[in-house]
Chain A
């Protein structure tokens, strides 16, 4: 058990929402089809805000809520698979905008597991270099979606959320256990944003390449419903006697049906699994912190409760973090 604790949480999403029926204008789909298969009713979509814009809003809210100065931060990590640039890192742009002069800043890409991987990296950093960190998951996935491809376009949304972390012994809060796994042999099951080799030296610049999301839905569904329960069980086993019952599970919000299936496989009551996929769709690395921030703000998650955070997706990756909030 470590003295790492989540000090504050906050989110920022684009104001523009798109309900299922609006998607009819771009593809052959329906509210009924999307709702019954995914649980998604609407998603927030950027009309111009970038990933760094959303993450900067989150960063500003976090500092204001905690009463911290930007100069107090030792590091900033942004978990994202949809950065503004390959360089500079989204985290560097955020660091510059908020004036966190002391903080080193970098992006981390583990797709929809990014926030969970980020928690582990942040925990390690807090133990060796400084004691105040910021971790944000932020995505503008709408730029990676083919808005005429109904099998993927209906699933995704934009948004950002994050946490302030500090290393300080606490009576109520701690990071209890982590489980991270990567299944690189399944990397082609979920792809987006291919960067083709098309320099003047390239021998074939005509090769077909797909910029947009491509997903083997069946493979990813099967992966999630098998590997997420396994990951949660491994993490809980590591936490062992530290855990006396789980108050809530916050899973990556990809699909309501996946979440229901995971609850069933873990033999846990559905009402312990908080969800907001209906309002946001799949926001990849942002989904776990958006839901966490929402639940904390609503007073559902309280200090001292045991929470399981779990992400899964591109890589393929899965990750679970058990915390005492």
Chain B
């Protein structure tokens, strides 16, 4: 899966969960600050991402921006292939 594909899936999940416009969710978007998401929103986004990509995200620590999420998913998917 390419980074662009991961991003568009992550973007769709965030849009669905937070009700934000698609254009507002970019790689540099800070999920907590820019989207007014609380801890449960973020947790739910992580839940959906886990289901979508069939990976485990044990902690949301270090995940601030959409780019952080995409990178995390990319790494997890790469690890699973090994």
Complex contact B40–A37 (CB within 8 A): yes
Which one of A36, A218, A261 lies within 8 Å of B38 (CB-CB)?
A: A36
Residues 211-249 of A contacting B (Cβ, < 8 Å): 218, 221-222, 225
The interface residues of chain B lying within 8 Å CB-to-CB of A257 are 40, 44
Closest to B51 in A: A226
Complex CA gap A221/B38 in Å reads 15
For the complex, is B53 an interface residue (Cβ under 8 Å from A)? no
The interface residues of chain A lying within 8 Å CB-to-CB of B72 are none
Complex contact B43–A218 (CB within 8 A): yes
The interface residues of chain A lying within 8 Å CB-to-CB of B43 are 218, 221
How far, in Å, is B24 (CB) from chain A's closest CB? 20
Closest to B59 in A: A218
Bits for B36-72, please: 1 = Cβ < 8 Å to A, else 0: 0011100110010000000000000000000000000
Complex CA gap A218/B60 in Å reads 11
Bits for A97-138, please: 1 = Cβ < 8 Å to B, else 0: 000000000000000000000000000000000000000000
How far, in Å, is B4 (CB) from chain A's closest CB? 26
**Of B38, B40, B43, B47, most A-chain CB atoms within 10 Å:** B40
Complex CA gap A37/B43 in Å reads 12
The interface residues of chain A lying within 8 Å CB-to-CB of B39 are 37
Complex CA gap A221/B39 in Å reads 12
The interface residues of chain B lying within 8 Å CB-to-CB of A218 are 43
Complex CA gap A36/B40 in Å reads 10
The interface residues of chain A lying within 8 Å CB-to-CB of B40 are 37, 221, 257
Complex CA gap A225/B44 in Å reads 9
Complex contact A222–B38 (CB within 8 A): no
The interface residues of chain A lying within 8 Å CB-to-CB of B38 are 36-37
The interface residues of chain B lying within 8 Å CB-to-CB of A225 are 44, 47
Bits for A188-218, please: 1 = Cβ < 8 Å to B, else 0: 0000000000000000000000000000001
Bits for A246-264, please: 1 = Cβ < 8 Å to B, else 0: 0000000000010001000
Bits for B18-46, please: 1 = Cβ < 8 Å to A, else 0: 00000000000000000000111001100
How far, in Å, is A174 (CB) from chain B's closest CB? 35
The interface residues of chain B lying within 8 Å CB-to-CB of A261 are 44
The interface residues of chain A lying within 8 Å CB-to-CB of B47 are 222, 225
Complex CA gap A261/B51 in Å reads 14
Closest to A38 in B: B40
**Besides A37-B38, A221-B40, A221-B43, 8 new A-B residue pairs in contact (Cβ under 8 A), listed by A number:** A36-B38, A37-B40, A218-B43, A222-B47, A225-B44, A257-B40, A257-B44, A261-B44
Chain A to chain B contacts (Cβ below 8 Å), 9 pairs: A36-B38, A37-B38, A37-B39, A37-B40, A218-B43, A221-B43, A225-B44, A225-B47, A257-B44
Q: List the 9 closest pairs (A to B, CB-CB), nearest first.
A: A257-B40, A37-B40, A222-B47, A218-B43, A36-B38, A37-B38, A261-B44, A225-B47, A221-B43
